[in-house]
Amino acid sequence: MIQENEIVMLILGLGVLIFILGNRSQLKRFPSSRWLILAFYVLLAGWALTVLEGFFWGLVLNYLEHTCYATGAVLVAAWCWKVFGGGKETR
């Protein structure tokens, strides 16, 4: 069964995807932007999978959805570590 909030999240994610694709050159100015953009793509895949699981392959797509969420969280954490941590002393 598909819930309205899942569809709204996917639509918002697709809107952000259009923004990212349109402003890719500007986003490259962020430090380690590849990690952050990759995290968004993985999370977007999770949002798409949560809608698709309502139509077919419920268990498999649910597993993949949660795998995408976990991977996206790890990628965001890695980006934060690279940008804000990373063992470098900033003075």
pLDDT digits (tens, 9 = 90+) for 65-80: 999 999 999 999 999 9
Cα 77 from Cα 73, distance rounded (Å): 6
pTM above 0.85, yes or no: yes
Per-residue pLDDT for 87 more than 70?
A: no
Q: Is the pLDDT of residue 91 over 50?
A: no
Q: What one-letter code names the amino acid at 62?
A: N
pLDDT, tens digit (0-9, with 9 covering 90-100), for 6-41: 999 999 999 999 999 999 999 999 999 999 999 999
Least trusted range by pLDDT, from 1-10, 58-67, 78-87: 78-87
Helix (H, G, I), strand (E, B) or coil at 32: coil
Residue 75 belongs to what H/E stretch? helix 58-84
Give pLDDT, residue 86. Answer: 72
Neighbouring C-beta atoms of residue 1, cutoff 10 Å: 6
> How many C-beta neighbours within 10 Å does residue 42 have?
19
